[in-house]
Amino acid sequence: VEKIIFTLLKQFDFMKRITIIDIAKMLSVNPSTVSRALADHKDVSSETKRKVRECAEQFNYIPNLHARFFRLKKSTQIALILPEVNMFFTPSLLNGLYAATEENGLSVVVFYSSNNLIREQESIKKCLSWAVDGVIIICSDETKDDSHLQDLVKAHIPVVLLDKVVDSDICQSVTIVDFDIAFNCCNILINKGCKSILAMFSSARFLMSQKRKKGVNEACTRSNISLENVHIEDVSSIEKTIMTMDLSKFDGIFVMSDEILFYLVGALRRIHFDINKIKISAISDGILPKNLGFDIDFVHHSGYEMGHTAVQRLIDQFT
């Protein structure tokens, strides 16, 4: 009888997805034995393992992960909540993150918040439904606190805040120490002899901007350097912003990110400002400074590393 089934299945293997039960029938063993064999469980004879694996291979057995996850109530899958993909920092961040998840056999489900708090909250609900093993979240620009993360913590799902973070007691963060890096970056200008610095930040609504601003302020205060701060609310209007200013009074510009740097340099070129007349120092992953054609100092801020670390931190919490 098994022979017949075997032959029949062989004929239909192009349409039928083989299950563990099918394999069990064919080999006249119990499904649990097959399951154990495939999982390389120690107390299955190597002979049985061989037969099972051969058969699975033969009939192109594909495990049904939903059945497995359902049964196990876990999923080797993590969620990534992403506000948007910009060209400056996100790419290296994602490369680091995906590399780390692949290394650890984790799958990533992406939920896209469009930089919108409501959507971010919805994404968190989805994480619960999906029974993900962990969540990495890059907060939207609208996110001000971690209250919506409570549900995840309650459900014992580890959470790591990445890059754009909010202050939180209930979950870990992987981000740069904004104050320090800005402080150091600004000091590059100061050490090079700048006496009057223009510092450019993203919108003051972002925690990141505020913290970096404090670092810059501290650096300038300590060295008694004249400082003017500018917040760029919208990169497309950066040209207008700098045109209203008298740039000649500055001998150094601090720039808080690659994004601002990119648009700043574009704007300066369009108004034919001679960039060689001024020193620029930026917080950057290094690609832009090397390719914009000027001496631009930078403090290295590695997205790749951060993405990689975030996954590691998450895994550490799996216990």
Partner DNA sequence: ATGAAAGCGCTAACAT
Partner DNA sequence: ATGTTAGCGCTTTCAT
Residues that bind DNA (CB under 7 A): 17, 19-21, 28-33, 35-36, 38-39, 42-45, 47-48, 63-64, 67-68, 70-73
3-class state of residue 148 by DSSP: helix
* Stretch near its own copies under the rule CB under 8 A, chosen from 122-130, 175-183, 185-193, 310-318: 122-130
Kindly state whether residue 119 participates in binding its own copies, applying the rule CB under 8 A.
yes
Q: Report strand pairing: 107-112 vs 172-174.
A: unpaired
- The two three-digit tokens of residue 155, written as one number: 């459900």
Beta carbons of 2 and 26 less than 8 angstroms apart: yes
Q: How far is the C-alpha of 48 from the C-alpha of 33, rounded, in Å?
A: 8
Q: Is the dihedral of CA 266, 268, 271, 274 positive or negative?
A: negative
Looking at residue 171, the DSSP 8-state letter turns out to be S
Give least dist CB 68 to DNA, A.
4
Based on CB atoms, which residue is closest to its own copies, 251 or 258?
Answer: 258
Q: How far is CA 250 from CA 10, 123, 253, 288, 295, in A?
A: 78, 45, 7, 22, 17
Give least dist CB 153 to DNA, A.
20
Pick one of DNA, its own copies, none as the site partner of residue 95 (Cβ within 5 to 8 A by kind): its own copies
Spell out, one character per residue from 11 to 30, where the chain touches its own copies: x when CB under 8 A holds, - when not: ---x--x-------------
Among 99, 166, 230, 247, binds its own copies (CB under 8 A): 99
Pick one of its own copies, DNA, none as the site partner of residue 94 (Cβ within 5 to 8 A by kind): its own copies
Beta carbons of 264 and 238 less than 8 angstroms apart: yes
Based on CB atoms, which residue is closest to DNA, 19 or 302?
Answer: 19
Kindly state whether residue 62 participates in binding its own copies, applying the rule CB under 8 A.
yes
Partner residues linked to 135 by β-bridges: 79, 159
